[in-house]
Amino acid sequence: MTLKNLRQIVTKAVVAKGKKRSESTEVLRPPNKPSGILGCWIINHTHQSKKYGKYVEVSGKFDINVWYSHHDHSKTSVYTETISYRDRVRLHYRDGATGGHEEVYIKVIQQPNCTEAVITKCGEKFSVSVERELLAEVVGETKVCVQVHPDDFEEEWRFDDESSSSSDGHGEGKDYTKGFGHEKGESDKDSSSL
């Protein structure tokens, strides 16, 4: 194989990937002094990303909802607070940076999730532990080398031999009277009795 038989094809492919798992503790202050926590959930996660060199910066936000009791467990309320975050995801290039236009795609492996929610020692705030995991993929131009065959060649295709014929049964007559209300030969009996 010589170099003159090689060609380069420019195509788009995933050229870099990075993954980051984050854990954080968010402190929330509800309007009423909490007596107990009845539940905690996280919703409305949104994010956007931008590439800086060998990193992707992901900016996002989500809502933490804490269902809690107050006034000595006589009333319940849901306290909601929007939390913003910024994660830097380090990229690992397979072939080195392409230098051209690159597109960044973020896949959320683990949506922001509450792992623990407690009342702080002061008794007036919530301490909520949150975990999340993101995967960044960078799509850019890359080159693929292919070998070129200068000579014509015939592709090998496998064809199954098929034959068709308009006659059925190899010359034997077929009875088409079945299913029309009389047995084979009934018409002969009727004609002989006339």
From the list 114, 101, 143, the residue with the least C-alpha distance to 45 is 114
115-167 tens-digit pLDDT: 999 999 999 999 999 999 999 999 988 888 888 876 776 677 777 766 665 55
- Dihedrals φ, ψ of 98, to 5°? -80, -30
DSSP of 12-32: EEEEEEEEEEEEEEEEE--SS
- Which comes out higher in pLDDT, residue 109 or 100? 109
140 touches 17 (CB < 8 A): no
What are the pLDDT digits (tens) for 164-179? 655 555 555 555 555 5
Please state the φ and ψ torsions of residue 193, each to the nearest 5 degrees.
-80, -10
Order the strands of the 34-52 sheet from edge to edge. Answer: 34-52, 55-70, 75-90
In tens, the pLDDT along 58-105 reads: 999 999 999 999 999 999 999 999 999 999 999 998 776 566 788 999
pLDDT, tens digit (0-9, with 9 covering 90-100), for 4-35: 788 888 888 899 999 999 999 999 999 999 99
